[in-house]
A and B are shown apart, each in its own frame.
Chain A
Amino acid sequence: MNMRRLNWPLWVGFLLTLVAFLSYFFVFVWFPVTRDFPWANLVLFFIAAVLLFAGIRRGFASDRPHPTRSKIVSSIVGLLGLAVFGSFIFGMFIAARWLPASTGAPKVGQRAPEFTLPDATGKSTSLSELLSSPVNGNPPKGVLLVFYRGYW
Chain B
Amino acid sequence: MNAAGIRPVAISVDPPEVSRDLSQNQGYSFTFLSDPNAEVIRRYDLVHAGAGENGHDIARPAEFLVDRTGTVRWVNLTESYLVRARPEQVLEAAKALK
Contacts and interface: CB of A to CB of B under 8 A. Distances in A.
A118 B47 CA distance: 19
Contacts, number: 215
Interface in B40-61: 40-41, 43-49, 51-54, 56, 58-61
Contact of A141 (B13, B39, B41, B94): B94
A140 B7 contact: yes
A131 B60 contact: no
Contacts of A105: 44-46, 62, 75, 77
A3 interface: no
A19 interface: no
Contacts of B63: 144-147
Contacts of B6: 140-144
A150 B37 CA distance: 13
Central interface residue in A93, A106, A125, A144, by most chain B CB within 10 Å? A144
Contact of A145 (B39, B66, B84): B66
Interface residues of B, number: 72
A119 B16 contact: yes
Contact of B15 (A121, A145, A152): A152
A103 B33 contact: no
15 contacts: A32-B86, A92-B82, A97-B81, A99-B61, A102-B60, A105-B75, A106-B44, A111-B72, A113-B40, A127-B70, A140-B5, A142-B94, A147-B62, A148-B12, A148-B61
Interface of B: 1-16, 18-20, 22-23, 30-36, 39-41, 43-49, 51-54, 56, 58-68, 70-75, 77, 79-84, 86, 90, 94, 97-98
